[in-house]
Chains A and B, each alone.
Chain A
Amino acid sequence: MDVEILSRIQFAFTIAFHYIYPPLSIGLGLLLVIFEGMYLKTGDKRYEQITRFWIKIFALIFGIGVATGIIMEFEFGTNWATYSKYVGDIFGSALAAEGIFAFALESGFLGILIFGWNRVGPKVHFFSAVMVFLGSMFSAVWIVVANSWQQTPAGFRIVGEGLNARAEITDFWAMVFNPSSVERLTHVWIGAFLAGAFLVLSVNAWYILKNKYLEIAKPSFKLALFTATVCSLLQLAVGHKSADGVAKNQPAKLAALEGHYDSLATGDMYLMGYVNNKTQETAGIRIPGGLSFLLHGNFNTPIKGLNAFPADERPTQVNAVFQFYHIMVGIGMTLIGLTVFATWLYFRNKLFDKRWLMWVFVWAVLLPQIANQSGWFAAEMGRQPWVVYGLLKTSDALSKAVTANQVLFSLIMFTVVYLLLLVLFLYLLNKKIQHGPVDYGTKESIEEGTKRDNPLLAH
């Protein structure tokens, strides 16, 4: 395999693995603010226990998120040197802003959030929770802005030629508010809220099934369910807006999302299907003209197809883009159905008796994760063969000083280490969940813990 494909696999693998964690941090951050806010407002000790429990889990997730995130920042330089030189003038300011405004805020206050219970008052502690949450939200802003610039470049000019060409910024705010950043950012945020809310739902559904910690599990479930319901409905609107934007700004990607080749034909909308990349045919369950209707309000408007683009300026893995996109949309719809149904049951006081539904919620934690991942795969693969849409090809963006063997070495290393990391993460997460939201903050538990840690001290 050559450097290009190895580097692409490595980047995809490391970013996909990283992206398990930040959405959980953002989503849990929101719920921590809600839980601790409830504690401050009501003074109810149960909410304090809930908050302490989820902070422990937040810390675990955040730790892995940071470690895997540092890799990402440097991987541009290690594997994509030409790309780094090309976009540095633009991308760099977003990354620097991320580091200084967002990440520093988040990491700084996290220390107080985790270790500061006995050192600061409840209000300062709550303030730290808000800062950690805001920090994670700002992080998303700068990262999504940078990525959106790659999808829809704006506020720049090209200087130099050939190998020395690069994009230089002409208008900072035009770069920040490039045509796709706002709608993609909101889409990412809400996806992250859903990831966090469904983790809380899953854990508490399991407690309810096991008939444990009910006085804590039920209010947590309720708050997370309301959050998830609002977010899944909002996501429909935001997702639609995002698709509109793709149609306008990246027509080749839009055509790939629905496997649409022929520019003279109306655009169909598929519920599921299969694209044959070779024969350029798409088959499946579809609404004829559905895509045309969605974008133009008319079933008969033709939609620009993949054939309208030169072969080297459109994605080749159309089926993959199609499938990832449809998985994401399908899950989005499922989440709406699930949360609205559960909310309805809740108000009829029947929710917690439905054991089958609780089991669904236990496993539904995977759905937002899969949707977030597939959404990004569709967005990034749909942009190919460009790394910066219309300006720089992925194949031209590599580090010339790096050999295939070096990338193979690092790829194997990442695979082994990340798999180990995932196993450990799941093991510890499970352990914390099994341990339950109890014992945090009582004097007995501290002494018990110290004895357990050091048997010699017990005497």
Chain B
Amino acid sequence: METFLGLDFNVWWFLVFGGVISGYAILDGFDLGAGALHLLLRKEQSRRIALNAIGPVWDGNEVWLVIAGGALFAGFPVAYAAIFSAFYVPFMVFLMGIIFRAVAIEFRSKEPMLWWRKTWDVVYCAASITIALSLGLMLGNVALGIPLNEQREFSGNWLSFFNPFSIMVSITTLALFMVHGAIYLTMKTEKRLYARLRILSRNFIIFFVLSFVITTLYTLLYVPHLSDFFRANPVAFIIPIFMVLSIANIPRQIKKGKYRYAFISSALTIALLLIMVAMEVYPYLLYSTENPANSITIENAASSYKTMKILLTIAVIGTPLVAIYTSFVFWTFKGKVKLDEMSY
């Protein structure tokens, strides 16, 4: 076993992958959330501003999905193969959402007719919601585990993905993204649109807290094994406690008008939620409900140590680079949205 700073390579890559997934959820989360609430903005001008608030960055945010896919494929090919072939149908729906959303953003502004714009608005909103819901649905099922055969491939029926727990996780994900997106838009807007978004973000927080509480209660009552880890390691309770604090901090900062802090809090909430899921599943990447011996772990799914070493080198060189130019782009477009001739 090769290690770095006392941790096994596989564990490192699990952390990197978790980091990339969190990065994706935080970054694409706000533009997906902005998309999901798009139809609640009534005026054409408001919708244009909302679209242009995510305009320069949504594409860069989606890159994190590509990196996440690459990271899983490279580091844990067995898990990559099992997860995407198992979730074939929901994942295809997710991909359709990705296509339609990109197309809607791109095409909407190209014609002035109202019917054209309204059609793409509906497509954009529906696609954003579909993406958020299907991501949540897959996350829920990964947390629960799915039946796997001896070749570590899915051996169940895809209709079983629509179980109550996963549906709840799915709705919670959507709600959290909507909170996140509304706060982002509030940061980027002014005047009446800003006032409207303030009210929306408050409502979304209520929606999120409700769905979060229901999901948590359901988990404790009906899927108790998902909290085994926290029962065995009481110290880890610090994570859910932090999360509750972080959620509570969102409305507090909104009330004070400090949207940047509110945004950081919602980003933190997303990260902590994923950390909780990660702690719960570790060392499994995909738990087999049929026969636990067939489960996919960070050991049996991992690439060779040689590859892990290359991957970690790529990550060490690449991450600062990506961080530098991502911050440069966000810095360039900081402040409120101003429409100009190159806008959507």
Contacts and interface: CB of A to CB of B under 8 A. Distances in A.
Contacts of A356: none
Contacts of B98: 67, 70-71
Interface in B79-95: 80-86, 88-89, 91-92, 95
A63 B105 contact: yes
A284 interface: no
A92 B341 contact: no
A93 B314 contact: yes
A92 B74 contact: yes
Nearest to A106: B63
A76 B73 contact: yes
Contact of B341 (A120, A440, A454): A440
B341 A445 contact: yes
Contacts of B103: 63-64, 67, 421, 424
Contact of B307 (A118, A169, A424): A169
A119 B70 CA distance: 33
A401 interface: yes
A454 B45 contact: yes
A228 B336 CA distance: 43
A445 B339 CA distance: 13
Contacts, number: 259
B203 interface: no
A108 B66 contact: no
A168 interface: yes
Contact of A112 (B56, B151, B304): B56
Size category, A interface: 35 or more
Contacts of A409: 89, 92
A26 B78 CA distance: 33
A168 B340 contact: no
Contact of B106 (A52, A64, A96, A431): A64
Interface in A35-89: 52, 55-56, 59-60, 62-64, 66-71, 73-74, 76-79, 81-82, 84-85, 87-89
A62 to B, nearest CB: 8
Contacts of A76: 73, 80, 84
A107 B73 contact: no
A432 B111 CA distance: 11
A458 to B, nearest CB: 12
B99 A399 contact: no
Interface string B142-168: 000000000101110010000000000
Contact of A421 (B76, B95, B99, B311): B99
B138 to A, nearest CB: 12
A305 to B, nearest CB: 37
B96 interface: yes
A445 B342 CA distance: 11
B322 A104 contact: yes
B306 interface: yes
Contacts of B264: none
Interface string A172-186: 100000000000000
Interface in A355-392: none
Size category, B interface: 35 or more
A52 B76 CA distance: 43
Contacts of A85: 77-78, 81
Contacts of A166: 77
B303 interface: yes
A119 B71 CA distance: 34
B333 interface: yes
B56 A88 contact: no
A70 B343 CA distance: 25
A69 B102 CA distance: 12
Contacts of A98: 66, 70
Query: Chain A at the B interface: mostly helix, strand, loop or mixed?
Result: helix
B75 A92 contact: yes
B110 A104 contact: no
A288 interface: no
Contacts of B45: 453-454, 457
B314 A100 contact: yes
B314 A78 contact: no
A156 to B, nearest CB: 10
A349 interface: no
Nearest to B334: A119
User: Which of B63, B65, B310 has most chain A Cβ within 10 Å?
Assistant: B63
B106 A73 contact: no
Contact of A413 (B92, B326, B341): B92
User: Which of B60, B80, B88 has most chain A Cβ within 10 Å?
Assistant: B88
Contact of A88 (B73, B101, B340): B73
Contacts of B234: none
B52 to A, nearest CB: 8
B157 to A, nearest CB: 10
A330 interface: no
Given A60-B106, A84-B80, A89-B303, A115 B56 contact: yes
Interface string B314-331: 110011011001101100
Interface string A233-245: 0000000000000
B96 A413 contact: yes
Contacts of B307: 89-90, 92-93, 168-169
B268 interface: no
Contacts of A247: none
Interface of B: 44-45, 48, 52, 55-57, 59-60, 62-63, 65-67, 69-71, 73-78, 80-86, 88-89, 91-92, 95-96, 98-103, 105-107, 110-112, 151, 153-155, 158, 303-304, 306-307, 310-311, 314-315, 318-319, 321-322, 325-326, 328-329, 332-333, 339-343
Given A62-B59, A104-B326, 9 more contacts: A63-B103, A71-B95, A77-B81, A93-B311, A103-B66, A104-B318, A105-B321, A110-B59, A401-B82
Q: Give the top 6 A-B pairs by smallest Cβ distance, nearest first.
A: A88-B77, A92-B74, A77-B84, A111-B56, A100-B318, A399-B85
16 contacts: A76-B84, A96-B70, A100-B70, A101-B318, A104-B326, A109-B329, A114-B342, A118-B340, A163-B151, A168-B306, A169-B304, A400-B153, A401-B155, A453-B45, A453-B112, A457-B45
